[in-house]
Amino acid sequence: MTDDANLTVKAMMHRALESTGPAAVLAFAAEMTKPKSGWKGPRKLSREQALAATRTVTSMLRRFGLQPTKVLVGAGRASQSSATGRFYLTDPEMAGAEVTKRLATGIGAHVDHVKAIARHARQKGHAVDEGALLAELAEAVGVFLEPFRAEPDLEPNAELAGDINRIADHLANPGRRFELARFLAEARRLELGFDRASGEMVFHGPAASMHDGGNTPVIPLLTRMVAHAEATLFRGEWEDGEENVLFFARPKLTPLGRTHGAICQEVGLGVVADPDRRGGLRMVFTLDPVTYVGEPGPAAEGDAWDKAGYARFLRFGAYPTPGDVDRLAEGCLFFEAAAPDRYDCEEFRAFHEQVVAEWEPGDEERLSGRRHLPVTPETCRLLLVDDGRTAFGIWRSFAEIPEPTVLPRDAEDDAGVVSRTVRARFAALLYADAEPSVAGLLGAEAGRRCEALDAFLMKSATGLRRRKLEFRARMRR
């Protein structure tokens, strides 16, 4: 990391840590003690700490008159009632009987259970402060949390990944005016997709899985070059009516010259349903494929195809199809790309070579579909680079190609040091103490989708069903 980026990120993290309360420390501890987090401190509660945490959870269950098995299964840490015994204490154990059974030693499980208790208690009509309940848990395991209260001694990418992943719990908080987990499950069940242009839900039927990308709240971060390939551009000529009648028809192709194909990924940050936690969310980096094909200028003939002059670059919303001709959106232009001449990303190389090796007709979705990468120290290092001028950024400056992004142009720390690296600009938006912020922008995207689902359901509802939906919508505000 450059000195500029170090100063910027460090100053912003200091500001975030200065306001850290018990709930935030618990969330950080739960995230950092997950496998592969990069955390070097303690990961498991001692027997005494686990007993204290379990006693606190059981006390909360009793306080609100909740059925332990129902709440604990609903929290997603146990698949059935018979598997919940290690998460709460029986009446004799609460009264002082010796506890000999195995207890949960992961702090994340206890955090999830406290949140589930708050949610169920509200449903029963109790006025519940989730933060106060989490503070009780934090007090019960206070010694365990000490290493997490100070500025964590983490590799920067591990720390950044941990903070990004906190946003998932933030958006899943039941106190929000929208329920994103409910939206994602309902949209899939009803085979609906969110149309970003109209802001409405659209029925897709069995093909709904192909439109899941619209349902995922995403903010654009950057575009990165991952490979380069030689391509040939063609102009297609159709016989009268053939283009509209025959789906698989191929026009007569006239070569226009050899050209450069820049294979890229549009990187975003999104939030999706967590398959491992019922009602939970998780953060992902989204990778949307895009290829830019140069329209050859007069100097396109000869061997230097990758240095030829181009009149413009044309956008193709996928990776090139191996051994076939792809159609560009503009005019009647087509192109055929050779195997990549150079890879700029080993992760993409592995993905692309696997796709080519396994290629069969009908696999086009693997080249045009969005991919998700988990938010880990490794993916933060890969995607949130420390460079102020990326390869795509330099190239687009003369190719006049827009880059979708919510990132600010630069980031300035408290000392007035300005940095233009991707890492520092992202950190500026992540740790911003006012809007816009990463969490705020994702929350706005989530809210739009949830409101669109409510509106869609209202259209077809009548009578009591409609009044129920209106009531639930009001209660979420």
Average pLDDT over residues 219-240: 87
pLDDT at 209 (0 to 100): 61
Does residue 244 share a domain with residue 367?
yes
Q: Are strands 333-337 and 326-327 parallel, antiparallel or unpaired?
A: antiparallel
On the question of pLDDT at 4 being above 50, the answer is no
What is the span of the domain harbouring residue 317? Answer: 216-402
CB 219 within 8 A of CB 444: no
Mean pLDDT, residues 76-100? 86
| 379 domain residue, yes or no | yes
What is the number of structural domains in the chain?
A: 3
Q: Is 373 left (phi over 0), alpha (psi -120 to 50) or beta?
A: beta
Specify the pLDDT at position 329: 80
Within a domain: 422? no
DSSP string, 230-297: EEEEEEEEPPTTHHHH-TT--PEEEEEEEEEEEEEEEEEEEEEE-TTSTT-EEEEEEEEEEEEEEEE-
Other Cβ atoms less than 10 A from the Cβ of 448: the count is: 15
Residue 19 confidence (pLDDT): 45
pLDDT at 174 over 80: no
pTM above 0.75, yes or no: no
Mean pLDDT of 170-197: 84
Residue 82 gets which letter from DSSP?
A: G
Q: Are residues 112 and 160 in the same domain?
A: no
Same domain flag for 8 and 18: yes
Buried b or exposed e, range 46-64, using 16+ CB within 10 angstroms: eeebbbbbbbbbbebbeeb
Q: Which of 402, 417, 450 is the last residue of a domain?
A: 402
| Residues 243, 351 share a domain | yes
420 located within any domain: no
Are the C-beta atoms of residues 46 and 145 closer than 8 Å to each other?
A: no
**More confident call, 470 vs 195:** 195
Distance CA 119, CA 130 (A): 8
| Region 445-471 average pLDDT | 81
Residue 243, pLDDT above cutoff 60: no
Query: Which of the four pLDDT bands, split at 50, 70 and 90, describes residue 150?
Result: low
Query: Taking all residues of the chain, what is their mean pLDDT, rounded to a whole number?
Result: 82
Last residue of a domain, one of 103, 123, 151: 151
Please state, for a pLDDT cut of 70, what percent of the chain lies above it. Answer: 85
Statement to judge: residues 137 and 286 lie in one domain = no
Whether residue 409 lies inside any domain: the answer is: no
- Is residue 428, in this structure, part of any structural domain at all? no
Identify the three-state secondary structure at position 141: coil
Q: Point out which residues pair with 286 in neighbouring strands.
A: 268, 372
Four-CA torsion 50, 56, 57, 60, nearest 10 degrees: 180
Higher confidence at residue 85 or residue 462?
85
Residue 417: inside a domain: no
Please check the confidence at residue 308 and state whether its pLDDT lies above 70: no
92: pLDDT strictly greater than 60: yes
Q: Report pLDDT for 167.
A: 92
What pLDDT is stored for residue 58 in this prediction? Answer: 93
Place of tokens 């505000």: 477
d(C-alpha 180, C-alpha 186), whole Å? 10
473 or 322, which is more confident:
322
pLDDT at 8: 43
Could you give the 3-state DSSP secondary structure of residue 80? coil
Asked whether the predicted pLDDT for residue 137 surpasses 90, the reply is: yes
Pair 165, 128 in one domain: no
What local confidence, expressed as pLDDT, does residue 374 receive?
93
| pLDDT at position 372 | 93
Closest C-alpha among 172, 171, 73, 62 to residue 113 = 73
Least confident of 81-85, 204-208, 304-308, 336-340: 304-308
Percent residues over pLDDT 90 in the chain: 27
Burial 213-249 (b: 16+ CB within 10 A, else e): bbbbbbbbbbbbbbbbbbbbbbebeeeeeeeeeeeee
Question: 372-408: per-residue pLDDT in tens?
Answer: 999 998 999 999 987 767 777 777 777 778 889 999 9
